[in-house]
Amino acid sequence: MLKCSVFEGQTGGKYIDRSVQNIMHQAVQKSGVDENATVHTLRHTYATHLILDGMDIRRVQELLGHNSIKTTAIYTHITDPMKKNIISPLDNLDLTK
């Protein structure tokens, strides 16, 4: 299973979870964005953008380290309303000929 670290520590190793949470909290306060944004919000956004960009859900599952595809599928519910706006090339066919 592929695991990737978004944040790399000063010596090249991984940050401990609490350090990443503190960095995120400080960044959120400075930026003025939604004060409820968390590290998990970043993870959720990352997965959603991968899916919106067309990445296969199995690959997203692998990147997120999910054991079950059902867990990864949670991220697809956000994209479903967006899919309603997609125009199929078949919609533009002139079938009156």
Question: Could you identify the residue written with the tokens 């199929």?
Answer: 88
Task: Say how many CA atoms lie within 13 Å of 89 toward its Cβ.
Answer: 0
One pLDDT digit (tens) per residue for the chain, 97 residues: 344 556 677 777 777 888 888 888 898 888 888 778 888 888 888 888 888 888 899 999 999 999 999 988 887 766 556 666 666 676 777 777 6
Phi-psi category of 12—alpha, beta or left, where left has phi over 0 and alpha has psi -120 to 50?
left
Residue 60's pLDDT is what?
Answer: 92
Is residue 18 within 8 Å of 28, Cβ to Cβ?
no
pTM value surpassing 0.75? no
- pLDDT attached to residue 58: 93
Q: How much of the chain is helix, strand and coil, in % rounded to 5?
A: 55, 0, 40
